[in-house]
Structure 1
Amino acid sequence: MTVTAEDVRTTALSLPDSSEKLAWGMPTFRVAGKIFAALGEDDASIGVKCPKEDREELIAAEPEKFFLRAGHDDNYAWLRVRLAALDSAAELRAILIDSWRQAAPKRLAAAHPELAGTP
């Protein structure tokens, strides 16, 4: 199965209180006004929230899947994901849920225990 930009949109918007807004010429997905995912300019990748301390390990483990945009991502807790490298829609959902949980207000995240513990 090939994961597409439309899969990203459908999955991101299925998360509680999520919305889509165009920013910097690309679709961004937000919860409570905070971006938790953004489609890349070519619809081949997404940016998601990821603690800086976790990024290098993920990139080292799966460099075909995870990457940083040099110079741009260095100062932000973000990671890029190549859609073509994802194994399934379930993997996409797990990545988006993890990013959503990082951006969502604590009260909103706590109100959705079904989304807890989904890396």
Structure 2
Amino acid sequence: MVAVADVRALARTLPRSTEHLVHDRVKFRVGAIVYVAFSRDEATMGFGYPKEERDALIAAEPELFFLPRASDLRFHWVCCHTARLDHDYMTELVTEAWRMVVPKFLARQRLGR
């Protein structure tokens, strides 16, 4: 199971990442762009993910991943159940969501090619 504290520890290591509390929801941003957000009860986590790939992600693991609410389908976003997410997978998902919102040179500095 992944908790906000786990994501916070990772996000603190990612350049330009900041944490915010918005309407009782923890969100991680780069500038004005949110790349990870938790539900109020922290049972679900939404994160940046390419729209064209999210249906395949959800189909591969429907017990873990699900679509965001209808009003958020226009964004590059997908959601997951934190109780079913392990730490290594969270690290991959959060890092890739961060990579989507930072300049390419910064992502290369942090992650390599």
Asked if these proteins are the same fold (TM beyond 0.5), I'd say: yes
2:5 corresponds to which residue? 6
Contact 1:73 1:79 (8 Å CA) reproduced: no
Q: Does 1:91 align with 2:70?
A: no
Query: 1: distance between equivalents of 2:34 and 2:97?
Result: 9
1:15 corresponds to which residue? 14
Query: 2: distance between equivalents of 1:65 and 1:17?
Result: 28
Q: Which runs of 4+ in 1 moved over 3 A?
A: none
Question: What value does the CA root-mean-square deviation take over the aligned residues?
Answer: 1.6
Contact 1:51 1:78 (8 Å CA) reproduced: yes
Alignment-mate amino acid for residue 42 of structure 2: D
- 5+ residue gaps, structure 2: none
Alignment-mate amino acid for residue 97 of structure 1: T
Cα displacement (A) at 1:116 = 4.3
2:109 corresponds to which residue? 111
Alignment-mate amino acid for residue 79 of structure 2: R
Deviates further, 33-42 or 56-65:
33-42
1:58 corresponds to which residue? 57
Alignment-mate amino acid for residue 65 of structure 2: F
2:99 corresponds to which residue? 101
Contact 2:45 2:82 (8 Å CA) reproduced: yes
Deviates further, 93-102 or 23-32:
23-32
Cα displacement (A) at 1:68 = 1.3
Cα displacement (A) at 1:28 = 1.0
Alignment-mate amino acid for residue 51 of structure 2: K
Cα displacement (A) at 1:109 = 1.4
Aligned length: 113
